[in-house]
């Protein structure tokens, strides 16, 4: 990348990501960065999201029930097909923010994930950690959850502060709670957080376009229904740092990377064209 362009991104980052926010991320496993993205960047992302919705990949799925008044739509790993996604990932301060939050020299793209709740979507996103669904080990990682619509406190992504310190908890399917990843009994189940919300240090922020939330892949998180006429279109970008290693699984991870286990040995850095290095 052109050095003066990188310096301009760095300057913008310095104004919006304070040392205090970085320390909060390390302590809590989740923060909100306000107004780091400008209107052009949000517009580029909105275009990419609409292109993705118009032409879903074979990996797309609907994560709400047929009788839901709205729809929860997800798609994964489309940065190579949707030019707006690749530009958004490479030409905004996201990777520089990831470098600081992960305290890492290098930054690698892991994958992108589209999460759209249409108006009236009743389906909550249940509490979960992301890393147990994945094929990676290591602690230098960050996901960025980037809405292009305003999101209310009730509909936003929430986090249990400090849960990124572990342990790993049992990943289950969102709608029928099946253990399709780690074998039943091999990890502890999640506590019933919704039943006793006041016993957990829950964090969450209402969001305006330009703001976004950063969280560690072990931080417990969940999101509410979407009330009223608002859409909740979110693009999430997942980044990897220096200590991340490949952990091939005996099951299909989510997302799945078919053929990767044959190309990249267990314990290797994620050095593969699927996961380009954004900062070397």
Ligand X SMILES: O=C(O)CCC(=O)C(=O)O
Whose Cβ is closer to ligand X: residue 218's or residue 270's?
A: 218
For residues 116 and 199, give the distance between their C-alpha atoms in angstroms, rounded to a whole number: 30
**Smallest separation, CB 95 to ligand X (Å):** 18
Number of residues this chain uses to bind ligand X (CB under 6 A): 11
Determine if 172 is a binding residue for ligand X (CB under 6 A). no
Determine if 155 is a binding residue for ligand X (CB under 6 A). no
Of 125, 140, 163, 254, the residue at the interface with ligand X (CB under 6 A) is 125
Mask for 18-47, x = binds ligand X (CB under 6 A): ------------------------------
Whose Cβ is closer to ligand X: residue 159's or residue 275's?
A: 159
Are 203 and 158 a contacting pair, CB within 8 Å? yes
Of 64, 84, 99, 236, the residue at the interface with ligand X (CB under 6 A) is 236
User: For the chain, how many residues are written?
Assistant: 280
Of 12, 221, 231, 233, the residue at the interface with ligand X (CB under 6 A) is 221
**What's the angle, vertex CA 259, arms to CA 254 and CA 262, rounded to 5?**
120
CA 22 from centre of chain: 17
Rounded to the nearest 10°, the torsion over CA 90, 96, 97, 100 is: 150
Residues ≥6 apart with Cβ < 8 Å to 98:
104, 107, 142, 144, 214, 239, 241, 278
Are 119 and 226 a contacting pair, CB within 8 Å? yes
**Smallest separation, CB 256 to ligand X (Å):** 16
Of 130, 149, 158, 211, the residue at the interface with ligand X (CB under 6 A) is 130
| Residue 155 Ramachandran class (φ > 0 left, ψ -120 to 50 alpha, else beta) | alpha
**Smallest separation, CB 7 to ligand X (Å):** 30
Q: What is residue 76's three-state secondary structure?
A: strand
Determine if 157 is a binding residue for ligand X (CB under 6 A). yes
Indicate the burial class of 34 (C-beta count within 10 angstroms; 0-12, 13-18, 19 or more). Answer: middle
**Smallest separation, CB 125 to ligand X (Å):** 3
Mask for 95-124, x = binds ligand X (CB under 6 A): ------------------x-x---------
Residues lying near ligand X in the complex (CB under 6 A)? 113, 115, 125, 130, 143, 145, 157, 221, 223, 234, 236
């Amino acid at each position: 990348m052109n050095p003066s362009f990188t310096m301009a991104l760095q300057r913008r980052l310095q104004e919006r990501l304070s040392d205090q926010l970085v320390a909060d991320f390390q302590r809590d496993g989740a923060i909100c960065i306000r107004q780091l993205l400008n209107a052009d960047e949000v517009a580029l992302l909105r275009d990419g999201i609409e292109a993705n919705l118009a032409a879903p990949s074979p990996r797309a799925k609907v994560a709400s029930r047929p009788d839901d008044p709205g729809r929860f739509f997800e798609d994964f790993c489309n940065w190579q097909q949707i030019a707006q996604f690749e530009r958004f990932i490479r030409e905004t301060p996201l990777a520089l923010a990831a470098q600081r939050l992960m305290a890492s020299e290098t930054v690698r793209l892991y994958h992108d994930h589209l999460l759209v709740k249409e108006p009236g979507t009743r389906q909550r996103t249940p509490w979960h950690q992301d890393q147990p669904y994945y094929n990676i080990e290591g602690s230098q990682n960050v996901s960025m959850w980037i809405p292009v619509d305003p999101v209310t406190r009730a509909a936003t992504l929430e986090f249990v502060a400090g849960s990124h310190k572990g342990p790993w908890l049992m990943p289950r399917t969102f709608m029928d709670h099946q253990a399709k990843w780690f074998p039943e009994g091999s990890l502890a189940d999640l506590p019933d957080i919704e039943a006793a919300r006041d016993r957990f240090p829950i964090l969450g922020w209402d969001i305006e376009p330009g703001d976004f939330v950063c969280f560690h892949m072990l931080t417990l998180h969940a999101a509410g229904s979407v009330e009223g006429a608002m859409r909740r279109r979110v693009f999430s970008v997942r980044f990897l740092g220096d200590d991340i290693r490949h952990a091939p699984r005996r099951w299909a991870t989510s997302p799945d990377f078919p053929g990767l286990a044959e190309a990249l040995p267990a314990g290797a850095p994620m050095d593969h064209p699927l996961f380009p290095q954004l900062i070397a």
